[in-house]
Amino acid sequence: MNKMSVKDLKELKGKKVLVRCDFNVPMKDGVITDENRIIGALPTIKYLLDAGAKVTLCSHMGKPHSIFSDEVKLNKKDLKKVESGEATKEDIIAKAKKDEPKKLTLAPVAKRLAELLDGKVVFASDVIGPDAKAKRDALKEGEAVLLENLRFHWEEEKKDEGFCKALAYDAEIYVNDAFGTAHRSHASTAAIVEYGIIKTAVCGFLIEKELSVMANTLENPARPFVAILGGAKVADKLNVISNLLEKCDTLIIGGGMAYTFLKAKGYEVGASLLDEEKIGYCKEMMEKAEKAGKKLLLPIDTVVTKSFPDPIDAPVDVKTVDADKIPADMMGMDIGEKTRKLYADAIKSAKSVVWNGPMGVFENPVLAKGTIAVAQALADVYGKCTTIIGGGDSAAAVQQLGFADKMTHISTGGGASLELFEGKVLPGIACLNDKK
Ligand code: AMP
């Protein structure tokens, strides 16, 4: 990676540093239910505090309304409610202003950070208001303040220049350590540097690690290199499929998207998820694989049900059929046993693997077997193969199954890692200073 990291900064003592973190942690009734993202941010924060920097931390949390701005922006869901007469704009704003400061505040994160960092972190109840300014002014060397949820201002996502200046305040150095939002071009993730407001801009240890493992594997993989893609729709992952096909030796397709490939192969897929418009694209990808001498593995058998379970984890009756014999009234919901073995064998022979997207409707225990089989196969090659889980559902599955410590790397950013898999340059990384 040719971007500067915090380690490349010489003088940090007394320096005012603004750090963009990803503290968008799941919460229930004000209690943090998974603190992985907080733990992931600690190495960078500790490094800066130990070096005597005066640290301002910032992050978003969820998708709030812009309740700290003069103008509260309504989202698409709200606009529908207003159009249908279900609620007025005023009702929506009043409810947001009442609920969101409690539900989407970063105060619990600041409390947890203070516990983890010997009380060196305080909380500011606003972002660019009087409390933030006072607490930033009062910082001593080796102390930090966490600002309130950035997205309480619409200006954050709209890259408003005035907001960028107020957020930068007197910071001399910008550190981006929020991999989960590095694919977003927002005020705190890129614009604050793009506008030239803070000139010294580097990445933190978390981004450095994400990039060094993922970008290096994508650029220079140990071979055979196997890419596994699953999830719902082909349309969501067009560029990922095409880019990974160029880089890997074997591309494995599972999940809902597999049925459009099977249809493109000439099979009938019954009531399975089908992206009619993308059948041509799937044919193209199969031809591309053949021309390049790459393997493209599709399910050879599939678990089918009569209907989609509702709720998603409700009991279901299943049977397994060959991939070319899906009954007209049934839908493919998971890869079958023969496919699980085929995919596990491909993983066994690999030297590096990237994985994004479940192999079936894994939210239902009966339909999670294919996803579990892939996770198990990856755990089995631990130590012999570089295994990278590209965030999102596959990361959650690996963690829930207790395989987390059997993977080389589990990305903290689903969207960001998918964009890396697509071969895109992430704005939150592109804006950082290059190594000299
Ligand atoms: P994605 O966000 O694209 O990674 O898709 C994840 C979703 O795909 C999960 O919620 C799965 O339930 C869903 N999914 C996986 N396999 C299938 C399938 N065969 N049919 C319908 N949905 C599926």
| Model confidence pLDDT, tens digit, residues 211-228 | 999 988 999 999 999 999
The per-residue pLDDT of the chain, averaged, comes to 96
Distance CA 402, CA 399 (A): 5
Point out the ligand 1 atom lying closest to the alpha carbon of residue 357: 4
Contact assessment for residue 36 and residue 108, using Cβ atoms and an 8 Å cutoff? no
Confidence at residue 412, expressed as pLDDT on a 0 to 100 scale? 87
Q: Write the DSSP symbol of residue 29.
A: T
Topology, domain 6-64+104-206: Rossmann fold (3.40.50)
Contact assessment for residue 66 and residue 151, using Cβ atoms and an 8 Å cutoff? yes
28 Cα–ligand 1 center, Å: 25
Q: What percent of the chain has pLDDT above 90?
A: 91
Q: What are phi and psi of 18, to 5 degrees?
A: -100, 125
Hey, whose CA ends up nearest to atom 21 of ligand 1?
Answer: 256
Determine the CATH number of domain 213-422: 3.40.50.1260
Q: What percent of the chain has pLDDT above 70?
A: 100
Render pLDDT for 227-286 as a digit per residue (tens, 0 to 9). 999 999 898 899 999 999 999 999 999 999 999 999 999 999 999 999 999 999 999 999
Tell me, yes or no, if the pTM score tops 0.85.
Answer: yes
Distance CA 34, CA 245 (A): 34
Q: What is the CA radius of gyration of the chain?
A: 24
Task: Give helix 238-247 / helix 279-291 axis angle, nearest 10°.
Answer: 10
Check pLDDT > 80 for residue 31. yes
Asked whether the CA dihedral 150, 7, 115, 182 is positive or negative, the reply is: positive
Hey, whose CA ends up nearest to atom 6 of ligand 1?
Answer: 231
CA 111 to chain centre: 24
At 30, the pLDDT band (50, 70, 90 cuts) reads confident
Beta bridge partners of 3: 434
- E strands present in 125-183: 143-146, 173-176
Render pLDDT for 310-324 as a digit per residue (tens, 0 to 9). 999 999 999 999 999
Hey, whose CA ends up nearest to atom 13 of ligand 1?
Answer: 232
Strand order in the sheet with 301-305: 319-322, 301-305, 331-335
**Segment 184-189 mean pLDDT:** 98
What one-letter code names the amino acid at 114?
A
Angle in degrees, CA 412, 414, 419, rounded to 5: 115
**Segment 79-94 mean pLDDT:** 93
How many alpha carbons fall within 13 Å on the CB side of residue 267?
A: 25
Tokens coding 176: 């981006």
Tokens coding 101: 């400061």
Distance CA 52, CA 40 (A): 21
Confidence at residue 1, expressed as pLDDT on a 0 to 100 scale? 66
Segments making up each domain of the chain, as ranges: 6-64+104-206, 213-422
Distance CA 356, CA 414 (A): 8
Question: Catalytic positions, please?
Answer: 37, 233, 392, 415
Contact assessment for residue 228 and residue 354, using Cβ atoms and an 8 Å cutoff? yes
163 Cα–ligand 1 center, Å: 38
Is residue 145 helix, strand or coil? strand
Confidence at residue 34, expressed as pLDDT on a 0 to 100 scale? 87
Asked whether the CA dihedral 386, 392, 395, 397 is positive or negative, the reply is: negative
**Segment 340-351 mean pLDDT:** 98
Residue to mutate (ligand 1; options 259, 273, 298; most atoms within 8 A of CB): 273
Confidence at residue 80, expressed as pLDDT on a 0 to 100 scale? 94
Confidence at residue 393, expressed as pLDDT on a 0 to 100 scale? 87
Confidence at residue 70, expressed as pLDDT on a 0 to 100 scale? 86
Is residue 298 helix, strand or coil? coil
Residues within 6 Å of ligand 1 by CB: 231-232, 236, 255-256, 273, 332-333, 357-358, 360-361, 363, 392-393
**Segment 136-146 mean pLDDT:** 98
Residue to mutate (ligand 1; options 274, 275, 321, 361; most atoms within 8 A of CB): 361
Q: Looking up tokens 């954050």, which residue turns up?
A: 156
Render pLDDT for 381-416 as a digit per residue (tens, 0 to 9). 999 999 999 978 899 889 888 999 999 999 988 899
Hey, whose CA ends up nearest to atom 1 of ligand 1?
Answer: 231
23 Cα–ligand 1 center, Å: 26
Cis peptide bond N-terminal to 311, omega within 30? yes
**Segment 79-107 mean pLDDT:** 94
283 Cα–ligand 1 center, Å: 21
Hey, whose CA ends up nearest to atom 4 of ligand 1?
Answer: 231
Hey, whose CA ends up nearest to atom 12 of ligand 1?
Answer: 361
Confidence at residue 366, expressed as pLDDT on a 0 to 100 scale? 97
Lowest mean pLDDT among 3-7, 167-171, 329-333, 410-414: 410-414
Domain 6-64+104-206 shares a fold with domain 213-422:
yes
408 Cα–ligand 1 center, Å: 24
326 Cα–ligand 1 center, Å: 18
Point out the ligand 1 atom lying closest to the alpha carbon of residue 334: 19
